Structure 1
Amino acid sequence: MYDLHDIVEMKKPHPCGTNRWEIIRMGADIKIQCTGCQHIVMLPRREFDKKLKKILEKAEK
């Protein structure tokens, strides 16, 4: 399962060419930030679960 500050890969890459996102907020909605261009996207948790491909790096505790 994913957690705050994990690096995840989504099914579709971001238009900037990067497919690495950092989870920066969790709740009913999940806010992710592109590691390439720093663009922020907020998705409902159900939509995020559907679009998530895999977890690339777990955050340090």
Structure 2
Amino acid sequence: MPMDLKVGDIVQTKKTHPCGSKEWEILRTGADFRIKCTGCERQVWISRVKLEKSIKKVISE
């Protein structure tokens, strides 16, 4: 069953982004997600399956 993720949620990933941040903000949901790094503001498109596997925890809802 898919995780309950909404626009505006901040999630922490298992691996760090090259800028050093582990926190991402969800900008768009669906089959693909658009997420933004909270450290360097980089935006990335990622599939739901790949994102759910990489999430360590949901920080804020």
TM-score higher than 0.5: yes
Partner of 1:56, secondary structure, is strand
Which residue pairs with 2:20 in the alignment?
17
Q: Which runs of 5+ in 2 are unaligned?
A: none
The amino acid of 1:21's aligned partner reads W
**Alignment partner of 2:49 out of 39, 46, 49:** 46
CA displacement at 1:41 relative to structure 2: 1.1
The amino acid of 1:35's aligned partner reads T
Q: Please report the RMSD computed on the Cα atoms of aligned residues, expressed in angstroms.
A: 0.8
Cα deviation code 1:18-54 (max 9, x no counterpart): 1110000101101110011000111111111111110
Which residue pairs with 1:3 in the alignment?
6
Q: Which runs of 5+ in 1 are unaligned?
A: none
- Structure 1 consecutive aligned stretches of length 4 or more whose deviation exceeds 6 Å: none
TM-score by length of 2: 0.88
> How many residues align structurally?
58
- C-alpha separation between the residues in 1 aligned to 2:44 and 2:57? 17
